[in-house]
Amino acid sequence: MKITLIGAGSVVFAKTLLCDILQFPELTDCTIALMDIDPARLKIAEAIAKKIVSQLRLPTRIEATLDARRAIRDANYVICMIQVGGYEPGTVLDFEIPKKYGLRQTIGDTLGVGGVFRGLRTIPVINQLAEHIASVGAPGCMLLNYTNPMAMCCWAVDRSVGIPHVGLCHSVQSTSQRLAGYAGLPYEDVSYLVAGVNHMAFFLRFEFKGQDAYPLLFQKLEDKGLSEDRVRFEMMRRTGYFVTESSEHQSEYLPYFIHHGEKVVNEFGIPLDEYLRRCQGVMDSWQSTEKQLLGQGGNIEIPAQTHEYGSFIIHSRETGIPRVIYGNVPNRGMITNLPEGSCVEVPCLVDSSGLQPTHVGALPLQLAMLCQSNVSVQGLAVEAALTHKREHIYHAVMADPHTAATLTLDQIWKMCDELLAAHQTAGLLGEFSSVVPGTGRPYAGLGDRIIARASQGVDGLSISLTNPGKKPAKVKLTACLENWDGSLRKRIVVTCEAGAGKTSETRLPLPVPMDSSTGFRVALTGTGVLAIDLAVPPRRVISEMFELQLDGNPAVKGVIQGGGDRLKMELRVNDSDVRHGKLPWSGSCVEMFFAATGSSPSLQVILVPALGRRATRIVNADGQPVAGAVLKQKSGRTAYIIELSIPKKSLRLAPDAKTFLFDLYSYLNAHGEAHSGGRTSLSGRFEAHLSTAFYSLVDLNQS
């Protein structure tokens, strides 16, 4: 039998696992292969392993190599305990860059922005190990993974390679012992059932000799002197169940603690930046630790077997002695209200048949909700790592509850960009597909999509070509023109060009009569181009009254009257939240456009309703009052009504004008009782003011 330890330079943990394995007599006649990328650390690990074997007088063979594939060749078990990127630069980047944006973490190795970027740099490495196992490992070789982020790594291995594997953590064992201590119960008489996801699994049952022992834990909530596990006890108070992983972990998986400031942080004893301190402490004490590990006076300390599951899994598979361990495995119906295929932590039977996860069923809904908040982050991070789609990095961090409670979307995007650039500079991450800057959409198919748009120019048809790409573009377009009734059809083929990042305009004379009074259409097509047609419907004739809708609901009702040399109007605008912006048209308002004929220039005026001490006003595009206008406003809870009278000459109309061209836009902040605001227009378009072809014809002769 061959057992391989990948990341053996983590010598403290490697020694623990090695001593656990070699204290089973049935496992001693084996080869232990040690592998690490750090030659100095590997040399120490090899020396420690050989001392253990020698001191215990075992037949175990020790090998050491810097080559992972060589270490895995013919292995029956591969134990992974790597930390890609190490303390520096990896962990430091994970903490220090988010801290600049106001995002604080405690451990940052499982969830949140720290967990996501740790996963992004770890998944490619662990997947390569899995590929080595599949290609050169012994038949049935099992990966025992101790590397965080546990759920992300195991999920990625299952999706990409699918070898036998299990993720191992000690949180179930250690927390069960801790709960026995809190309850004042002998550990040997305690039993439990745990399920969920790694670091967010829950004690669904905690029993003493078959009796529910949770009442003893809830009694601790009344202990005013309780100073330990305050976050976990608080979550038990609120959800009814105790979670497996520590309070410092829990505080950064949830939006209820760190985000709410120093008072809450102090109340619950949350150690911010704790993992940085732990790592620094380990490095500071490494020299003395190394001497201790190598043994003083030639002897090395052989500790008792620990509760780590790794050695027990190997022993049960090799001997057939059955055991139950808690493992992180693909969800194949074990937890029915968590996504299929995600990584879940459940009881697993281990014997000579292998590892067999237990069906748990549905978690209590409140626990499934908390687990799902973790699973969403994990799934998006795995997707980003496997597909190299940059947009899913943002989405994963955006889904994290603590990050979402702390940062705006813009801050999340900028933080991820900075983290990604820093990781790539340090050689910890490769390239990801580009996105349109500041968005969650890939550049390909969006940022490089050429847009062709037909519009009516002053002297004919205008075709604009917008090229957001990085290379000049030349496209062949076909414009099919016809009158609204389908007569007078004409087809034109034209080649348009636009430079990189530029918009060009090509003008074409209309080859057949196209009259806005009767309406016409231009259908634009082109290969690989988003082509936008032009449709100019027959002019709408308004004799006196008109109505606009927004999202299918009444928005504006208007009446126009034109006796004498003044134009009189009454407008009812259904806006229940009248607010103004800095510019006249940037809040609640009504914009109106007037033109005497299709060839005359149009005039824009903006009607701004009263608010507070500010009176109703009507101004031109420069913000100057319209001469001679008389205004009167009535305001209600959900609408305002404005009556106005304006000299026709102030609108560039003849004093006796009975016909003119007209369009109206309305901006509403809140439309009725339950609808958000928006814009609506008489013409149905929001660029119509650029061409009087879209204006309605007001004919007061018919009033």
- Residue 573 contacts by C-beta under 8 Å, 6 or more apart in sequence? 555, 556, 588, 590, 609, 639, 640, 641, 642, 666, 668
**Residues pairing with 676 in the sheet:** 670
Which H/E stretch holds residue 680?
Answer: strand 675-681
> Residue 260 has which token pair?
């709410």
Cα distances (angstroms) measured from residue 480 to each of 404, 514, 520, 687: 49, 12, 11, 22
User: Of these residues, 170, 260, 580, 675, which one is catalytic?
Assistant: 170
> Residue 609 has which token pair?
């309703």
CA separation for the pair 495, 473 (Å, rounded): 10
Secondary structure class of 29 (helix, strand, coil): coil
- Residue 298 contacts by C-beta under 8 Å, 6 or more apart in sequence? none
CA separation for the pair 70, 64 (Å, rounded): 10
Cα distances (angstroms) measured from residue 291 to each of 40, 203, 461: 14, 40, 84
Are β-strands 659-671 and 696-699 bridged in parallel, bridged antiparallel, or unpaired? antiparallel
- Residue 224 contacts by C-beta under 8 Å, 6 or more apart in sequence? none
Are β-strands 659-671 and 190-197 bridged in parallel, bridged antiparallel, or unpaired? unpaired
CA separation for the pair 276, 256 (Å, rounded): 23
- Residue 586 contacts by C-beta under 8 Å, 6 or more apart in sequence? 580
> Residue 425 has which token pair?
């500079």
Strand 473-483: give its sheet, edge to edge. 490-498, 473-483, 520-525, 534-536
Q: Are 257 and 265 in contact (CB under 8 A)?
A: yes
Secondary structure class of 77 (helix, strand, coil): strand
* DSSP-derived secondary structure letter, 228: S
Nearest-5° Cα angle at 368, 366 to 374: 115
Q: What is the DSSP string of 105-118?
A: -S--SSSHHHHHHH
580 carries an active-site annotation:
no
CA separation for the pair 294, 288 (Å, rounded): 10
Q: Are 519 and 537 in contact (CB under 8 A)?
A: yes
Q: Are 645 and 630 in contact (CB under 8 A)?
A: yes
| Residues with a known catalytic role | 170
